[in-house]
């Protein structure tokens, strides 16, 4: 293409129901004429020259879905694919849209993990940072990034409901965080652990018990720790009973380690495979993989 230029197209998240959310770090680059105007549309890049208009959309998708139009191109990416789709082009030169799609290349370069945002948690393998109230995870080894949701500084829900991702914690190549939802008719609290290098989910479980009705769950989580092997432990507020002291639970993947109104909800720490917390004014401890047995807890 004479007098051409390379133009980048941002890639947005999962396109099963249309692109959404902040773009990923990688970009697609296509060849367009030097003439005409390139602008940003709604989750798309638009090219206009006279009566010619071409809209370019790029998004990730977890499966190798069947192509539904000739103006679609697919690139392998992470655990799925990146798709480029062209719309319009009927009033452009013959074959212009198809040539533009064929010119696309996936630019896999990624910014360093410390290039953006405000740090919320980090070690030498993982950084969690916040950009405009959204929390991002970045693995320093391969600069792979993924968005885990709205931080506690914002609200991912509306209409009187509140939801956010809280307490990001890193250890080894893993990140743990909580997902809290408080609605008018229900509530939920989750603990999640993911591998920062791939975004793969390692653990995802309810943080506490059901409060007499599966629509209402105990929560929120007040403390969260994580081993370098990806094993979490946490302190969660138990189901609230009006006019009674708030009860808290110390939990691991094995279950409830301790429960009581005397637990300091912000006191959980981890040293090796031993968790410690303050209960009734004394420091107690347990192995992070212990089930609920009395001998697993000792004061010191």
Domain definitions of the chain by residue range = 4-107, 113-299
Taking only Cα atoms into account, the Rg of the chain, rounded to an integer number of angstroms, comes to 24
Q: Are 221 and 191 in contact (CB under 8 A)?
A: yes
Q: Are 145 and 138 in contact (CB under 8 A)?
A: yes
Model-level pTM?
Answer: 0.74
pLDDT of residue 299: 38
Q: How far apart are the C-alpha atoms of 205 and 234, rounded to whole Å?
A: 12
Q: Are 34 and 47 in contact (CB under 8 A)?
A: no
**Sorting pLDDT into bands at 50, 70 and 90, what band is 21?**
low
Query: ∠60-192-228 over CA atoms, to 5°?
Result: 105
The DSSP secondary structure of 48-84, one letter per residue, reads EETTEEEEEEEEEESS-PPP-SSSEEEEEETTEEEEE
**Sorting pLDDT into bands at 50, 70 and 90, what band is 153?**
confident
Q: How far apart are the C-alpha atoms of 106 and 77, rounded to whole Å?
A: 9
**Dihedrals phi, psi of 259, to nearest 5 degrees:** -150, 145
Cα–Cα distances in Å, from 23 out to 26, 46, 112, 177? 8, 16, 16, 22
Q: How far apart are the C-alpha atoms of 251 and 291, rounded to whole Å?
A: 9
pLDDT of residue 66: 55
Q: How far apart are the C-alpha atoms of 86 and 100, rounded to whole Å?
A: 8
From the centroid of its chain, how far is CA 96? Answer: 37
- In terms of Cβ atoms closer than 10 Å to its own Cβ (0-12, 13-18, 19+), residue 147 is middle
pLDDT of residue 174: 98
On average, the pLDDT of the chain sits at: 88
Q: Does pLDDT of 145 surpass 90?
A: no
**Sorting pLDDT into bands at 50, 70 and 90, what band is 20?**
low
Q: How many residues does the chain have?
A: 300
pLDDT of residue 298: 43
Q: What is the DSSP letter of 13?
A: B
How many of the other CB atoms lie within 10 Å of CB of 270? Answer: 19
pLDDT of residue 24: 81
Residue 68 or residue 25, greater confidence? 25
Closest C-alpha among 197, 60, 221 to residue 137: 197
Percent of the chain whose predicted confidence (pLDDT) is above 90: 61
Closest C-alpha among 298, 190, 175 to residue 225: 175
Q: How far apart are the C-alpha atoms of 272 and 278, rounded to whole Å?
A: 18
How do residues 262-278 score in pLDDT, each as one tens digit?
999 999 999 999 999 99
**Sorting pLDDT into bands at 50, 70 and 90, what band is 214?**
confident
Q: Are 48 and 32 in contact (CB under 8 A)?
A: no
Least confident of 182-186, 225-229, 275-279: 182-186
Between the ranges 18-32, 219-233, 239-253, where is the mean pLDDT highest?
Answer: 219-233
Closest C-alpha among 145, 109, 106 to residue 129: 145
Q: How far apart are the C-alpha atoms of 71 and 79, rounded to whole Å?
A: 23
């Amino acid at each position: 293409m004479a007098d051409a230029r390379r133009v980048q197209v941002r890639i947005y998240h999962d396109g099963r129901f249309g692109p959404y959310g902040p773009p990923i770090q990688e970009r697609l680059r296509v060849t367009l004429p030097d003439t005409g105007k390139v602008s940003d549309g709604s989750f798309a890049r638009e090219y206009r020259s006279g009566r010619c208009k071409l809209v370019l959309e790029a998004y990730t998708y977890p499966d190798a879905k069947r192509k539904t139009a000739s103006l679609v191109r697919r690139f392998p990416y992470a655990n799925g694919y990146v798709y480029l789709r062209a719309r319009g082009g009927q009033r452009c030169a013959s074959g212009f849209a198809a040539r533009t799609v064929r010119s696309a290349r996936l630019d896999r370069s990624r910014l360093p993990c410390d290039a953006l945002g405000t740090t919320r948690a980090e070690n030498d393998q993982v950084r969690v940072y916040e950009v405009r109230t959204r929390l991002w995870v970045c693995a320093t080894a391969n600069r792979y990034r993924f968005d885990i949701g709205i931080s506690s500084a914002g609200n991912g829900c509306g209409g009187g409901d509140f939801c956010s991702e809280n307490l990001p914690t890193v250890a080894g190549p893993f990140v743990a965080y909580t997902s809290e939802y408080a609605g008018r008719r229900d509530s939920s609290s989750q603990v999640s652990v993911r591998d920062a290098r791939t975004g793969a989910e390692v653990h995802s479980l309810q943080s506490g018990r059901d409060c007499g009705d599966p629509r209402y769950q105990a929560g929120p989580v007040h403390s969260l720790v994580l081993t370098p092997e990806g094993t979490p432990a946490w302190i969660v507020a138990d189901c609230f009973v009006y006019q009674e002291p708030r009860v808290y639970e110390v939990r691991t993947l094995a279950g409830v380690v301790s429960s009581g109104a005397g637990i300091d909800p912000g006191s959980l720490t981890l040293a090796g495979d031993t968790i410690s917390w303050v209960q009734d004014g004394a420091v107690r401890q347990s192995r992070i993989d212990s089930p609920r047995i009395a001998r697993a807890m000792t004061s010191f």
